[in-house]
Structure 1
Amino acid sequence: MDRRASWDEYFMNIARVVATRATCDRKHVGAVLVRDKTILSTGYNGSIRGLPHCSEVGHMMEDGHCVATVHAEANAIIQAAKNGVAIEGATIYTTASPCWPCFKLIANSGCRRIVFGEFYRDSRVFDFAKQLGIELVELKVPEKPDLVPTDTGPARPVVDRS
C-alpha cells in the first residue's frame, strides 16, 4: 500500500492542480491558503480579470518579467478578501517561492507559514520571513503522472439514467 500523503503534501498537490489554471504560458503557479486543514482560498497567476490572457495576446515584458499577470499568491489573498474570509494565521502553499511584492502581501495579510515547491528568484524573503517570525518551508513533492489528467474532455451534464 502506498504511503498516505502528509497534510503539507496534500495541500501542495492541490496548489499544483490550481497552477494548471494559470493563463501565463511563461510560468504556471498555484497557491492555496489553508488554516486548520481547511482550504480558505486558491489562486493562480493570470491576467487581470476581464483582460485577454498572455497566452492569447502576448506578454507585457519589463526587465525580463511578464508584468501583465496577477500572481497566484495575490489572487488567493484577493479571493479570500472578496469572499470575506479572514486569513490571519493561515499557511499559504505555493508552487514557487513568492516574489518580493507577493511576500509583502503575504506578511501583511497575517499568514504565519509559507510552504513553497521551488525557489524562484528572490532570496530577500528568507531574511525578512525570519525577522517577522514567518515560517518558510521548501517542500519537494514528487511528480505523480496520474495526479493531473492532461485531457479529460469537457464536462458534460449527467443524464437521468432511470
Structure 2
Amino acid sequence: MKRQDKINYYLVIAQTVAKRCTCLRRSFRAIIVKNDSILSTGYVGSPRGRKNCSDLGYCTREQMLGATLYLCGADPVTGELVAGTNSCVMCKRMILNAGITTVIVRDTAQDYRVINTDQWIEHDDSLIGQRGY
C-alpha cells in the first residue's frame, strides 16, 4: 500500500470535518496545520449559542440578501449623534458577506446618507497601497 502524501492527508481530514457543518448554503471546512501538527479545525455554522440553520430548516443569511442596514453613531459620553459615521473595514466585510445591499447612515436628527454597498466593492479602502491606490 502506498502511503498518502501530507497534503492529501490533511485535505481528507478537512473533508471529515464537514460532517459537523450546519450551514444549508455552504459546506466549507478547514484545518490549520503548523509544523506538521493540527492546531485547529473549523466548519461553517452559527456562532456559539445560536441555533443552526440546519436545525431551523432555513438559511438565516439568505433572509438578509438584499436587506438594508440602518447605522447611527452616538458619542458614548454625551449620547449626541456623531456625524460622518462609517463602518470600519471589518464591518464592511461582514455587511457585504451578509448580502446587505444598502446602508443608511444618520448624520444629524434630520440628515442621513444612503450607501449602496457595491461602492465598497468598487472602492475597496482595505486595498489602499496594494494595487497602486
TM-score by length of 1: 0.37
Using the size of structure 2 for normalisation, the TM-score is 0.44
Q: Which has the larger radius of gyration?
A: 2
Q: Which has the higher contact order (CA 8 A, sep 6+)?
A: 1
